Chain A
Amino acid sequence: MYISNDRRRIEAVFLLFIIFLLFCIARLFFIQLFRSSYLYGIAQKQHNLFVELEPRRGTIYDTNLKPQAVNMSVDSLYASASEIPAKAKEGIIKSLLPILNVERAYLEDRLYRKKSFIWLARKLSPGQSEAIKKLNIKGLGFIKESKRCYPNGYLAAHVFGFAGLDNKGLEGVELYYDGYLKGQPGWAMFLRDARQKRLNLWEKMVLPKDGYDLVLTIDEVIQYIAERELDKAYKKYHANSASIVVMDPNTGAILALANRPTYDLNERINLSVNQLRNHAVCDLFEPGSVFKIVTLSAAFQEKRVSEEDRFFCENGAYRVASHVLHDHRAHGWLTFREVIEQSSNIGTTKVAQILGENVIYKYMKLLGFGNKLGIDLPGEAVGIVKEPRFWSKISIAAIPIGQEVGVTTLQLASAISAIANGGDLMRPYVVKEVRDKYEQTIKSFPPLLIRNSISADTAARARKVLTGVVENGTGKLAQVTGFSAAGKTGTAQKLEPNGAYSHNKFVATFIGFAPAQDPVIAIAVCVDEPHPYYYGGVVAAPVFKNVASDTLRYLQAIQPLSARLSGSDEIKKNN
């Protein structure tokens, strides 16, 4: 059979096409079966952009729903360092230096890296952002980020704490309630255009879950009053540190808590440990004479000593084992009431000797010393209270007058609150409610009774004696104009590194409540190493007086005190 050349050529070309077609089909099969997922991924990357959606961090409100910590959308500055010509970099550094207030070396290091994206400054202030935008520098860009801002600056800095650059709580309530505040991030798969710019069209989206808001028991006004007065004392007496706790004695709600030194929550640069420390909650100290409230409560509760029982105070010197105990002023015969009013160490020791070690220990524990009270703030100290089997022969003369024990200002505030409210030791707390963004309550924290420490009758008798301290005794400077007040002063010698008590380092304290008969506020003030005066009745008592006076006037202005008291009675019934 003859086959023409043309036909052969045609068939050859046809065969070639068929082979090519088969190759294409095979390639397509290969791509579809083996390379599809890889290529799909590349295509997805080109067309889609995965973005994590940041949740809104919850707002922190004070008890009157005034915002104390809010989120602001601010610009963060980045550079596409590889896109900036080398010649232009020097000019950019010169222009940015005065605006960003950073080291020249820092900017040089960042801009001379061969990176397409590098942060230059995170979370700029609006002023800085505007100034840089005006420069219109090519190669610099801005990304919106959420920044935590505190409208009241340093107010209640140790209570609110702060959140870091990544909006994670680092201190205070921000840390303790980070789980509630932070929310849950979401994500979205946005479409991109040909220029790789993000479009507001998404293929998939999981919305972020915003953080919950917190309502605190802190009252902005009372907090300000407490901070103002504490600051005055801290500066006037050149103290090492100082702290104050203002508490609602009936519920345990903290109305104000302040420390010195402190810091501005918006400007946290070069902070020392002393500034950051929440002294009222974390620091232990020997309380001195304020601790006599333990002996006072124990004596009345055990019915071993009454107010009018008389004790000989040995004219100022009393030997216990190998130790000679002194009073700051020599006293002869004093009634127990006068012992507390005049803060006689010898008289208190004699009462403690009648009661015995075990009773004193029992009431220390009952009033909340040597245990965590469970406040919702990080770093709460337990305190130091030795069991009687570890007491030395002189412990019975030291512990009742506030030596050989370690307490916090918060524990003192809780103990005096227990005496003020009729004997109930309440759990101190700073957050009363967790709410969502629609203002619906998610969780509330009602007042919590830890235990009944002393009977109502004992508390009433102790209140009367403590009123005498302010009216006739060492706490006269704590008298509140227009209201009765009760309290106890304390001046404790600090321990030197060699274990001996210092003669020039003291801790001045005052704990008290007002009005004396129906207390609405309980206050504990502690000033560490005041100079030149160091007596609790001189340094700390005036702080109590001023805070109590202004706070009571303020509370009376917003709500009659009688109404507040009837409210707290209901809480007690519920407990």
Chain B
Amino acid sequence: MRISKFLTLVLLLTSFSLLYVWQQTEIFRMAYVGQSNVTNFQDLLDKNTALRYNIGRSASLVRIGSRVDQDLAFQMPQGYRLVKLAPKGENLRLTRQVPRKESIAFRIFGIKRQAEAKTINP
């Protein structure tokens, strides 16, 4: 009986020890996995920053200006050379002329228009 109690105690202690060691190794293993994920994430962030920077650099007026000046012998148009585009034709429509109902009061007090122009609403 005493031996069995002793063995149980030893078993229990051993299991707890193993559990503790496993837990510790697991923490470190997860730390390694986390570390590699963080590194990958950081790499992606860095690449993203680099891409944004390169986009900004490519789109910068300095770069465009120098390319236009040197490579293409391009001349910026002056204001009078620019054509201002009117709104699209399909959006233009004649306003519907609603015939005004003339009441008695309107006939007495209203000012009759001499002429009415058809307006175009864009």
Interface residues of A (CB under 8 A from B): 66-67, 70-73, 126, 144, 149, 151-155, 191, 193, 199-201, 220-221, 224, 228, 481-482, 553
Contacts and interface: CB of A to CB of B under 8 A. Distances in A.
Question: 5 closest pairs, A vs B, by CB?
Answer: A151-B56, A224-B61, A200-B35, A73-B46, A151-B57
B79 A481 contact: yes
Given A224-B62, A228-B65, A199 B53 contact: no
A73 B53 CA distance: 11
Given A153-B63, A193-B28, A200-B31, 18 more contacts: A66-B56, A70-B49, A70-B52, A71-B49, A72-B46, A72-B50, A72-B53, A73-B45, A73-B46, A151-B53, A151-B57, A154-B62, A155-B61, A199-B31, A199-B32, A200-B35, A228-B65, A553-B79
Given A151-B56, A481-B79, A201 B31 contact: yes
A70 B62 contact: no
A149 B53 contact: yes
Contacts of A70: 49, 52-53, 56
A220 B59 CA distance: 12
A126 B53 contact: no
A482 B31 contact: no
9 contacts: A70-B52, A144-B42, A151-B60, A152-B57, A152-B61, A155-B62, A199-B35, A220-B61, A482-B79
Nearest to A155: B62
B122 interface: no
Contacts of A71: 49
Contacts of A220: 61
Contacts of B46: 72-73, 144
Interface in B44-86: 45-46, 49-50, 52-53, 56-57, 60-63, 65, 78-79
B38 interface: yes
B56 A67 contact: yes
Nearest to B49: A72
Chain A facing B: main interface SS: mixed
Contacts of A193: 28
Interface of B: 27-28, 31-32, 34-35, 38, 42, 45-46, 49-50, 52-53, 56-57, 60-63, 65, 78-79
Nearest to B32: A199
Contacts, number: 58
B27 A201 contact: yes
Contacts of B56: 66-67, 70, 151
A155 B64 CA distance: 13
A99 to B, nearest CB: 19
A193 B27 CA distance: 12
Contact of A153 (B27, B32, B62, B78): B62
Given A72-B46, A72-B49, A72-B53, A152 B31 contact: no
Contacts of A482: 79
A153 B34 contact: no
A264 B65 CA distance: 15
A228 to B, nearest CB: 6
B28 to A, nearest CB: 7
A451 B105 CA distance: 63
A480 to B, nearest CB: 11
A191 B50 CA distance: 31
Nearest to A266: B57
Contacts of A201: 27-28, 31
Contacts of B52: 70
Residue from the set B46, B56, B62 with the largest chain A CB neighbour count within 10 Å:
B62
B81 to A, nearest CB: 12
Given A199-B35, A224-B65, A152 B49 contact: no
B64 to A, nearest CB: 9
Contacts of A155: 60-62
A228 B68 CA distance: 13
Given A72-B46, A73-B46, A553-B79, A152 B34 contact: no
Residue from the set A71, A151, A201 with the largest chain B CB neighbour count within 10 Å:
A151
Nearest to A191: B31
A155 B79 CA distance: 25
Contact of B49 (A73, A191, A200): A73
Residue from the set B34, B52, B56 with the largest chain A CB neighbour count within 10 Å:
B56
A249 B107 CA distance: 58
A482 B80 CA distance: 10
Contacts of B60: 151-153, 155
Contacts of B38: 200
B8 to A, nearest CB: 31
A152 B62 contact: yes
B29 to A, nearest CB: 11
B46 to A, nearest CB: 4
A503 B42 CA distance: 63
B115 to A, nearest CB: 33
Contacts of B49: 70-73
